[in-house]
Structure 1
Amino acid sequence: MGRLGCTIDGTLDVSKFNEPMPWIGIYVAAASAACAMAMAVDVFHGFRYRKFWFPCKFFSLNATTLTLIAVAIKLSVDLNTSMPRRHDQLAKLSSGVFICTVMGNFLPSLGTMENKEIIMNFMALAILVITAIVNICIQLATGVIFVFWRQHAIVMFVMLVLLAIFASSAVAIPTTKSYFELKYSKKIKLAVKECSDKTDVSVPKKLRDDLMRYWMMAHTSNPQFVMGRSATCTASGAFCLISAATLAQAMLRSYLIPRSFKFCHDESDYKWSTTLVLVTQTIAVAVGTIAPACRWFTAINFRCPIKANKACRCEFKIEHYWIKKLIQWKECPLALKICGRQGRKLAHNMKNQFLDFCIRMQTGIVLVSKLVRLISIFVVSRYLICCRWCNDLKRLLKGNNSVANDNSGSNSQPNPMLELRHFVMHLEGEEELVDLMMENNCDAPHHWIQMGKKKQPKYLIQLLEKSISSREFKGVNEFDSDHVPSFDSEEPPNCWALPVVTLTSIAAALPNIDPRSIKQLRNSVSEGLMYIKVVEDNLDDKRDVVNVRKASEIVWLGVDLYHKWLDVDLHKMALQGKGPKEVLETLADIAKNRFMEFRKKDISGCLRETPSKWPIKVLAANCMYRTCQTLVLDYESRDCKSSEILFERLSAMISDIMGACLTNLKQVISTLCHHSTIEEREESVRRAIILLGKTQEILKILDRQPLPSSDPDQLASIDNWRALSRQKVPPQFVSSSMDGNTDSTGSSDLYLTID
C-alpha cells in the first residue's frame, strides 16, 4: 500500500509532501535573481551609453519575463502554506514589492510594441497582478499573512495604481507614434535642405552638424524616451520608490524594533529557502528601483530648472494625444451585426457610455500623474536649483578667460544651438522643455565618436596608408582579367569580400614571406571584412550575391583559423619551396579540379542553373581559378620574379579593393541615419555615429582618391565599379569628397562626408 501513497490503515500518507518545498524556494530565488540580473544589465546599459531614462533593452514586457515573474511571486500567491517567522512574512511582502518594481521597469518597453502586442502583453500583466492582489487579500483574511497588513495594503494600492498607469500609457502610444512619424518626415526634408545649403562650412564641422540633427530627431522621438519623460512614467517612478520604501521600513522595524511585531516560533515548510528568497528579492527591488527612480528624477530635473518655470503653469492641462485614441474609438461605428434597430441603438449607447467612462478615467489618471509630478517638483526643486547654480558658477569660473577670447569671432557666426532647436521632437505641452532636451543631449554625438575612435581598425589603417597612394583603386580591375577562359558561358556575380579573401589566401601560400607580414595582412583583412560586411548589409539589395557572400565567409573562416583554403593547407604549401609562379599554377589547378569534380558529380543540375546559385565551394573555386590565372598571365609583365614582390602586389590589390568598398561608408552612414523605423531609429543613428568614429581616419585616407562616378548608388557593387572603370570613354573621375552638394547625385538622400 505504501507504493500507492497510503498508510497501512488506508489513510493518505502526507509525510513526504513537504520535502520538495525548499527546492521550490530555490526555484523562486533563481527566477528572482534572473529578473534582478536583467534589470541590472539595463541599468548598466543606461549609464554606459548615457541614456539616463534607461530604455528597456534586456528586461522588457514579454512572455519570457512574465513567466519569470509568475515563478518569482510564488510566495505571494501561496494560499495555504504557513509562514510563521519574521523572514517568512517579510518574504511575502518582498514578493509584492517585487511586482511593483518590475512594473515600473516595464513601462517604457510599451513604446517598442505594436498595437496588438501592447494589448496582449497588458492583458497578461493585468491577469498576473490582479491574481496576486486577490491571493494577498485571501491570505490577509485567513491569517496566513498576520503582520505587515498596512504595508501589504500600501503595496496592493501601488499595484493597482501602476496597472492603471500602464493602461493609460498604452492608450496614448499609438497616437504619439503616428504624430512623430509625420513630424519626422517633415523634419528630414528640412535637414536635407539645410545640409545642402551650407557649402561654405568645412567638411568636418558640416558632418558634425548633420549627425547632430539626425541624433536630435531620432533621440527625442524615440518611443521609449517619449514614454520615459511622460507624466505617467514619472508617477510610476514615484510609486516604485514608495513601494521600495515600504519594504525598507518593514525590514528595519522588524529587525531594529522586534517588539513592535509578534511572530511565531514554528518553521515554514519552505524552511531556510525563504531567507534566500527574501535576500534575492530585496536585492532585485534595490537594483530594479534605480531605473524608475532615475526616470522620475530626470523628468523632474527637466521641469525644475529656472528656464522651465513656465512648464508648471500648465501642469493640469490634459493634452489631446492622451484621449485621441479613445475619441476615435467612440466615433467609429460598431462592427457587430445585431438584428433590430433597438438592439443596435442599445449597443451603440452602451459603447459610448463605456468609452465616456474610459475618457474620464484616462483624464483622471493623467491628472493624478501630473499632480504626483508637481508634488515631486516642489519636494526636490530647491535642491536641483542649488545644484544648477553651483554648476553655472563652476562653468563661469573655468570659462571666464576662454569666453573673453572667443567673443571677438563668435558674433558673426550663427548660433548652432538655435538651428538645432528646430530638430527637437516634442509633444503638446513640452514646448518649454525643448531647450533642456537640446542641452542635455547635444554632446551625445561627440561621446559616441570618441567611443568609436577607441576602437579604430589600426591594422587596416596601416595597410591603406601603406598601399593606397594614387593608384585610383586599380586593384579592383586587376584581380580578374577578361582574357581568362570561363568555366561557363556566364560568370557568377562578384561581391567585395570574396576577391579579398582569395587574394589573401594566395598571399598566405607564397614561400619565403616573413610570418609577421602575413599575420599583419591577415589582421588587416580581418578588420576590413567587418566593414565590408557593413557596406554590403546596408547597400547591397541584390539577392544574386547571397551565395557569393556566404562563400567568402566560409573561406575566410578556414584561412583565418586554420590557414586553409577549403581543405588546402596554405602553410604547408608555403613550406614546399615552390616559386611564386608555381604556387599560382598549383592553386589554379586545384581550383579547376574542384570545379570539374563537382561538374561530374552534378546529378541534380546545380551548375545548369544561374551562376549565382552555384554551390558555395564551386563559387570559391571559380574565384580562385580566375584570380590565379590572371596573376599568371600578368606575371612576367609585372616583373614579379620573387615572392616578396608578388606579396607586395597582392597587398596593394587587397588594399585597393577594400578601399574602393569602404568609399561607400559615407553612404552607409547616411542610410543608417534615416532609413529605419521609429522604434529602431535612435539605435541606428547611434551606430552610424560610432561607425564614423571608428572609420574617421579611413575616410580621410580614401578622400584623396578619385572615384569613377559621382553617383554613390553606382559604386555600391564591385561589378558596377569595374564596369564604370572599363568604359572606353571613361567619365571624368571625381573626388570621393562631395563637398555637401547632393544635387549631382540625383538622389534626395543626404550623403555624409568627412575630410
Structure 2
Amino acid sequence: MVKLGCGTDGVLNEAKFSEPLPWIGVYIAAASLACAVAMAADVIHGFRHWKLWFPCKSFTINATSLTIITVAVKLSVDLNTPMPRGQDQLAKLSSTALICTVMGNSMPSIGAMENKEILTNILALGILVVTVVVNICIQLGTGVIFVFHLEHAVIMFLMLVLLVVLSFSALIVPTIKHTLELKYKKKYKMAQKECSEANGTDKSLEQKLREALMRYWMMAHTCSPQFVMGRSVTCTASGALCLLSAATLAEAMVRFYLMPGSFKFCKGDSDYKWSINLILLTQAVAVGMGTIAPAIRWFFAINFRCPKGGRKKGHGKGYKLEEYWIRRLVEMKECPLNIPVHNRLCRRIVHDAKVKFLNLCIWIQAGIVFMSKVIRLISIFLMGVILLCYNRCRDWLKKITPENSIGNDSGLESPHSSKLNLSHFVLHLEGEDTLVEVMMKDNRDATDYWRKKAMKRQPKYLMELLELSRPTEGFKGLTEFDSFKVPSLDTEEAPNCWALSLVTLTSIAIAVPNIESNSIKHLIAGVNEGLVYVRNIEDMQRNLVNSRKAANVVWLGVELYHRWLNVDLRKLSLQGKNTKEILEVLSDTGKNRFMEFKKCNANLCLLDGPSKWPIKVLAANSMYRTCQSILLDYEAKNYKTPERLFEAITVMVSDILAACLTNLKQFITTKCSTSSIEEREESVRHAAHVLGRTETILKRLHEKSLPGLNPDQMVVMDEWRSFHKLNSSLHDTHTPGSELASPTPYEVYLTVD
C-alpha cells in the first residue's frame, strides 16, 4: 500500500511538491502586474488632470490592495525554497523593494480614510512589513539569501522607516480634517458674501458663476485631505526614501547584469524555474512605475521651497514643530482611561504608563517631522543648482518667446482670472504660508480649463429640443401634460417628478403612428441628454426617491428597446390604430396596473402615501394621468393627426426640460457645498463640467422672463404648476379694463443656504 505523499519505496516524494511553483510564480507576477497597472493609472490620472502631487485613486492602502501585495511579495517570505541563480536573488530583492514603493506611493491615500479604516489598514500593513523583515533576516541567517546583503539591509531599514513615518503621519489626519473644516466654513461665508455683492454688478450670469466656481474650487482643492497629505513634509521625505529604495534595487540590477564576474552564485535551478524571470520583470516595472509619483512629489516640494534667483533664504526657518502634528497625542494624554479597575493604585500605574508611552510617541513624532525637514533641506542643497538652472532657462525662454505663446499650467488663460484675487481662499495649515501663492497660481485657472474642455461636448440634441420651449407663455407644457381636471385614481395623488413626466411623454410620442424614425431618434437623444441634468437637479430634493427610480427603470426600457414596462411602443404604433385609440390603450394599461396594485395593497397605499408607492405603480399612474390629460384636450387641440400630436408632445417635453433646467445655476452652486471634505473637490469639478456644457442653455434661459419663485420652489415641479394654476385663476377673474402684473424675473442667486 502506497502512503499519501510517498513513493512505492516509502520515501517522501519532495519533487512532486515543487511542481506547482512555476505557476505560483505566474500568480506572483500577475499580482505584481496588478500593482504596477494601478500605480500607473494614478500617474496617468495625475498628469491628465495636472495634479502633480498624484492623488491615490486606483491604488490605495485597503484590504484588497494589501491582499494583492501579500501575494506579490511571496518570495520575500519564502524561507526554504532554493534560490541559487542571480535572477532568483534579484527577485527576492525586488519583492522587498516593492513594499517600500507601495508605502511611498500610497502616502496621500490615508487622508481620504476614516479613523477606523486608518487604524485597521496601518495595523495590517505593519504586520506585513514586520513579517517580511523577520523572514528576510531568517533567510540571511540560513543562507537562502547569500548575495546583495547590503542592499537588503538598506531596503529593510527604509521599509521600517517608511512604516513609522506612515503610521505617525496617519495620526494627524483627524486633526487636519477638523482644522480645515473650520477654516472652510469661514472662507465659505466669505465666498457667499462676495457672490452676493457680485449680484449687484453688471456682470453676466456666466461670469458670476465662473468666479464663484473659482472661489469654491480653490477652497475645495486646497483643503482636500489627500492634497494636504501629499504636500506635507513627511510625504516629501517618504518620496525621497522611496526613490532611494528604487535606486538601491537599480544599483543591484546594474551590478548583476554589467559586472557578472563580481558575484559567485550556486549551481542549479530554482523550483520557480522560468517564472522567476517573469516575476523579476513585472516587479521591476512595478517599482519603476510606483516610484514616479513619490519622486515627482519630492521634486516639486523641493522646487516650491528652493530659493529663487540664487538668493538663499528661508533655510533657517521652518524647523519649528507645528502644533497640529502632536495635538491628537496631547489630547489622548490628557484624556482619562476608562478601564474597569477600581483599585486606585492600579489605575494610577496604568495612567502613568499611558502618559509615558504618549510622551515617547510625541518625541518620536517630533523626531520624524524634524528628520523629514532635514531630508528636505538636504534635498534642496543637492537639487538647488539644477533647479536654479532650470528656472533661469525658463525665464530666458519667456523673454524671447512671443507673448501668450506659452500657456499656464492648465493650457488656457481666462481674461478675468488675473483680476480675481483668490489668495484669501487658499486653505493652508500652520507652516504653509510660503505655499499660498504657489497653490493659488497653479490652480487659478483649473475651473476655466474644465469648463472650456466641456464646452467642446455641447448637448446638441438637447439644445435643438429646447428651441421649441415657450418661456414667454410661462412654459405651458407644465400644466398641459397633466391636467388638474383628470380624476385621481386614489384618495391622494402622487407628486409630479421632472424625470418621470419626461419619460412618460417620450413613451407616448414613440407610440404615435406614422412618425418619421429620424424625428423619434432626435427626441429620444434630446431627452436622454436632458435627463443627465434633470437627475442632477432632482438630487437636490430629498423626497421623490421612488419616482426618480421609476423614471430610471422606465427610461432604460424606452431608450434601449422602445418598451414602456412590458408594452412594445413601436408595435403599438404599427397596429393600424388612430392616435386616440393608442392614447386610450396606454391610459387603460396604466389604470389597470394601478388598480391591480390598489386592490391587493389598499392599506399600504394609504399608510405609506403616494410618494412611497412602488416604482411600477408610480409609472402606471403617470401614464394614466398624462394620457387622460391629452384626451381631455383632444378635440380642442386638434390632436387627431399623428403629426399634430407628436409635435404637441415634443413641445410639452421641451417646456418641462426648459423649466427644470432653469435650476442649473442653483445646482452648480449647491454642488460646490457638499458636506464631505473628501468629495468637495470632485463636486466642484463636476459643477465646472456642467457649466461648460450648459453655458449656452443657461444664457438663453436667463434672457427669458421667469416666474417669481424662490430657488427652493423652482426646484419642485408642483410649485411651478401651482404658480401657473394661481395665475390662471387670476387671469380668469381679471376684468378687461385692468392690467395683470407680469411675473417678476427670477433673480440670480449664487449663495447657498
Q: Deviations over 1:559-608 (max 9, x none)?
A: 111112222222122223433333222322333333344455x2675545
262 and 316 in structure 1: CA distance in 2 versus 1, 3 angstrom threshold: same
Tell me what 2:423 maps to: 421
Tell me what 1:677 maps to: 676
Tell me what 2:71 maps to: 71
Residue pairs, 1:427-576, within 5 angstroms = 427-468=429-470, 470-537=472-539, 539-542=540-543, 545-576=544-575
| Equivalent position to 1:316, from 310, 314, 319 | 319
Tell me what 1:327 maps to: 330
Note if contact 2:584-2:627 (Cα within 8 Å) is conserved in structure 1: yes
- Shift, 1:122, TM fit: 1.0
Tell me what 2:179 maps to: 179
182 and 595 in structure 1: CA distance in 2 versus 1, 3 angstrom threshold: closer
Partner-residue secondary structure (3-state), 1:483 = coil
Tell me what 2:663 maps to: 664
428 and 201 in structure 1: CA distance in 2 versus 1, 3 angstrom threshold: farther
Partner-residue secondary structure (3-state), 2:58 = coil
> Hey, what's the Cα distance between the residues in 1 that align with 2:550 and 2:44?
38
- Shift, 1:616, TM fit: 2.6
- Shift, 1:239, TM fit: 0.9
> Hey, what's the Cα distance between the residues in 2 that align with 1:472 and 1:311?
64
Tell me what 1:733 maps to: 743
Tell me what 2:721 maps to: 722
> Hey, what's the Cα distance between the residues in 2 that align with 1:166 and 1:714?
49
Note if contact 1:676-1:684 (Cα within 8 Å) is conserved in structure 2: no
Q: Which amino acid aligns with 1:734?
A: T
- Shift, 1:668, TM fit: 1.3
Partner-residue secondary structure (3-state), 1:674 = coil
- Shift, 1:470, TM fit: 2.5
Q: Deviations over 1:209-249 (max 9, x none)?
A: 21111111111111111110111000111111111111111
Note if contact 1:303-1:309 (Cα within 8 Å) is conserved in structure 2: no
Note if contact 1:709-1:715 (Cα within 8 Å) is conserved in structure 2: no
- Shift, 1:736, TM fit: 4.1
Residue pairs, 1:114-125, within 5 angstroms = 114-125=114-125
Partner-residue secondary structure (3-state), 1:485 = coil
Q: Deviations over 1:67-123 (max 9, x none)?
A: 111111100011111100011001000000000000011111110112222122111
90 and 177 in structure 1: CA distance in 2 versus 1, 3 angstrom threshold: same
Q: Which amino acid aligns with 1:98?
A: L
Q: Which amino acid aligns with 2:723?
A: L
Note if contact 2:79-2:144 (Cα within 8 Å) is conserved in structure 1: yes
> Hey, what's the Cα distance between the residues in 2 that align with 1:652 and 1:330?
68
- Shift, 1:207, TM fit: 2.0
- Shift, 1:395, TM fit: 3.7
> Hey, what's the Cα distance between the residues in 1 that align with 2:565 and 2:334?
66
> Hey, what's the Cα distance between the residues in 1 that align with 2:574 and 2:64?
55
> Hey, what's the Cα distance between the residues in 1 that align with 2:480 and 2:617?
22
| Equivalent position to 1:363, from 366, 388, 394 | 366
* TM-score where L is the length of structure 2: 0.93
Q: Deviations over 1:690-748 (max 9, x none)?
A: 1111221221222123333341101112112211221245985233451x5x7xxxxx6
> Hey, what's the Cα distance between the residues in 1 that align with 2:345 and 2:578?
97
State which drifts further: 480-489 or 2-11: 2-11
- Shift, 1:309, TM fit: 6.0
Note if contact 2:32-2:282 (Cα within 8 Å) is conserved in structure 1: yes
83 and 622 in structure 1: CA distance in 2 versus 1, 3 angstrom threshold: same
Partner-residue secondary structure (3-state), 1:749 = coil
Q: Which amino acid aligns with 1:270?
A: Y
- Shift, 1:53, TM fit: 0.7
- Shift, 1:56, TM fit: 0.9
Partner-residue secondary structure (3-state), 1:653 = helix
> Hey, what's the Cα distance between the residues in 1 that align with 2:559 and 2:130?
56
Note if contact 1:305-1:384 (Cα within 8 Å) is conserved in structure 2: no
Tell me what 1:202 maps to: 203
465 and 392 in structure 1: CA distance in 2 versus 1, 3 angstrom threshold: farther
Residue pairs, 1:257-272, within 5 angstroms = 257-272=259-274
- Shift, 1:264, TM fit: 1.6
**Structure 1 position 130 matched with structure 2 position 140:** no
How many positions carry a matched residue from both structures? 729
29 and 501 in structure 1: CA distance in 2 versus 1, 3 angstrom threshold: same
> Hey, what's the Cα distance between the residues in 2 that align with 1:415 and 1:274?
57
Note if contact 1:39-1:58 (Cα within 8 Å) is conserved in structure 2: yes
Note if contact 1:311-1:432 (Cα within 8 Å) is conserved in structure 2: no
- Shift, 1:390, TM fit: 3.2
Note if contact 2:3-2:10 (Cα within 8 Å) is conserved in structure 1: no
- Shift, 1:354, TM fit: 1.8
Tell me what 1:287 maps to: 289
- Shift, 1:400, TM fit: 5.4
> Hey, what's the Cα distance between the residues in 1 that align with 2:370 and 2:233?
9
Residue pairs, 1:42-61, within 5 angstroms = 42-61=42-61
Note if contact 1:480-1:627 (Cα within 8 Å) is conserved in structure 2: yes
Note if contact 1:302-1:433 (Cα within 8 Å) is conserved in structure 2: yes
- Shift, 1:376, TM fit: 1.2
> Hey, what's the Cα distance between the residues in 1 that align with 2:675 and 2:344?
48
Tell me what 2:242 maps to: 240
Note if contact 2:512-2:579 (Cα within 8 Å) is conserved in structure 1: yes
Tell me what 2:381 maps to: 378
575 and 348 in structure 1: CA distance in 2 versus 1, 3 angstrom threshold: closer
* TM-score where L is the length of structure 1: 0.92
| Equivalent position to 1:351, from 342, 350, 354 | 354
594 and 384 in structure 1: CA distance in 2 versus 1, 3 angstrom threshold: same
Note if contact 1:703-1:737 (Cα within 8 Å) is conserved in structure 2: no
> Hey, what's the Cα distance between the residues in 2 that align with 1:41 and 1:339?
55
Residue pairs, 1:3-42, within 5 angstroms = 4-42=4-42
Tell me what 2:651 maps to: 652
Tell me what 2:410 maps to: none
Cα RMSD for the two superposed structures: 2.3
> Hey, what's the Cα distance between the residues in 1 that align with 2:358 and 2:605?
65
- Shift, 1:415, TM fit: 6.6
Note if contact 1:606-1:615 (Cα within 8 Å) is conserved in structure 2: no
Long gaps (5+) in structure 1:
404-412, 743-747, 751-755
- Shift, 1:477, TM fit: 1.1
Q: Which amino acid aligns with 2:166?
A: F
| Equivalent position to 1:277, from 279, 282, 286 | 279
> Hey, what's the Cα distance between the residues in 2 that align with 1:309 and 1:736?
57
Partner-residue secondary structure (3-state), 1:694 = helix
Note if contact 2:84-2:265 (Cα within 8 Å) is conserved in structure 1: yes
> Hey, what's the Cα distance between the residues in 2 that align with 1:220 and 1:86?
48
> Hey, what's the Cα distance between the residues in 1 that align with 2:623 and 2:476?
19
> Hey, what's the Cα distance between the residues in 1 that align with 2:417 and 2:43?
38
551 and 338 in structure 1: CA distance in 2 versus 1, 3 angstrom threshold: closer
- Shift, 1:340, TM fit: 4.2
Tell me what 1:408 maps to: none
515 and 683 in structure 1: CA distance in 2 versus 1, 3 angstrom threshold: same
> Hey, what's the Cα distance between the residues in 2 that align with 1:616 and 1:193?
42
> Hey, what's the Cα distance between the residues in 1 that align with 2:715 and 2:699?
19
Partner-residue secondary structure (3-state), 2:676 = coil
Note if contact 2:708-2:746 (Cα within 8 Å) is conserved in structure 1: no
> Hey, what's the Cα distance between the residues in 2 that align with 1:594 and 1:220?
53
- Shift, 1:397, TM fit: 4.4
Q: Which amino acid aligns with 1:313?
A: G
Note if contact 2:513-2:578 (Cα within 8 Å) is conserved in structure 1: yes
Partner-residue secondary structure (3-state), 2:589 = helix
Partner-residue secondary structure (3-state), 2:13 = coil
Partner-residue secondary structure (3-state), 1:98 = helix
- Shift, 1:197, TM fit: 1.7
State which drifts further: 288-297 or 302-311: 302-311
Partner-residue secondary structure (3-state), 1:493 = coil
